[in-house]
Amino acid sequence: MKQSGPEWEARRIMQRKRTGMVWTLLKETGMKRRYIAKHLGVTIGYLNQVQYGQAPISKNLRAKIAAFLSVDEHLLFSDLDRELSKEA
């Protein structure tokens, strides 16, 4: 579900900025986005929405991405977690 308004726009920008490394690592696998989305159990459209900050990244998807990349989830998303904890 897409959100709108100034607060959501700021959140989208922050999410894109803080998850940039994730998308770089996924791209560096050399695998097609279609395969990655299928492996993660999401549609390619939803994966794009998450990448561009149009949909929030769920805890479940975070865990799946970390497992797919064989990287610790907390390390992979530490920038995003720090930013979100500042907001709370």
Q: How confident is the model at residue 83 (pLDDT cuts 50, 70, 90)?
A: low
Over 60: is that where the pLDDT of 84 sits?
no
- Taking CA atoms, 17 is separated from 10, 12, 63, in Å, by 11, 9, 19
Third-level CATH fold of 6-81: 434 Repressor (Amino-terminal Domain) (1.10.260)
- pLDDT tens digits for 53-68? 888 888 899 899 999 9
Look at residue 61 in the predicted model and tell me its pLDDT.
92
